[in-house]
Amino acid sequence: MPTIDIANIFPQFPLSNTMNLVFTETLPAEEDLKKIEEEAVLENTVVGYFRPLFKKMFAKGYGLAAYNNNIFLGIMCAVPFGRNWIEPGTFFVLKSYRGCGVGSALIKELIIRFKGNKRIYVATKNSIVFDFCEQNGLKQCENYWNLPLAVKWHLLKKLSMVRVAFILALKRNFHKGIRFYLSPEN
């Protein structure tokens, strides 16, 4: 399992000098997945969603888990779409480890692992993610309408989940403030 020196990559986060993040593509133990669901319930996050999603994505090779000295810290999945695209998807960092750079490290590791063999698509309003994408070679697409067809098709498929809300958001220029990032073509 590769390790990453998080203090050099994210000096702005207050990580302990003893924290040594290790990433694995192996699905975390059931008790770790249960911790996520327990915290999600307390935070009024969708319950019963995480465990099946994470199992599915890890089975397909699109999941990452973060550990420090064999202690589970967080998890992240990518959503594959089209022939060669992924979108960083659901991720969760246990509450006691938030603000330490674990989530950022998970995203960075995901980009590192897939850059070169998959194109990466990110849509965000988060200014930290803006910088993060630019530092990792993802290029900003000016607006939704200039996105590649595969990405637009991916977004249209989400309509069945959020039909009315998505259409209303589109009419109200939902993309204002959102930046779209794409990895260069391989």
Nearest Cα neighbor of 78 from 32, 47, 112 is: 112
Tens-binned pLDDT, residue by residue, of the chain (186 aa): 444 444 444 444 444 556 789 999 999 999 998 888 888 776 655 545 677 888 888 999 999 999 998 999 999 988 888 888 988 887 888 988 888 888 888 888 888 888 778 888 888 777 777 887 888 788 888 777 888 888 888 877 766 555 555 555 555 555 567 777 888 775
pLDDT of the residue at 161: 54
Quote the pTM value: 0.71
Q: How many residues does the chain have?
A: 186
1-114 placed in CATH 3.10.150.10: no
Nearest Cα neighbor of 131 from 159, 113, 108, 149 is: 108
103, 131, 133, 169 from 174: Cα distances, Å:
25, 21, 21, 5
**Burial (0-12, 13-18, 19+ Cβ within 10 Å), 168:** exposed
pLDDT of the residue at 186: 59
Q: Locate the domains of the chain by residue range.
A: 1-114, 120-186
pLDDT of the residue at 71: 93
Nearest Cα neighbor of 133 from 150, 108, 154, 152 is: 108
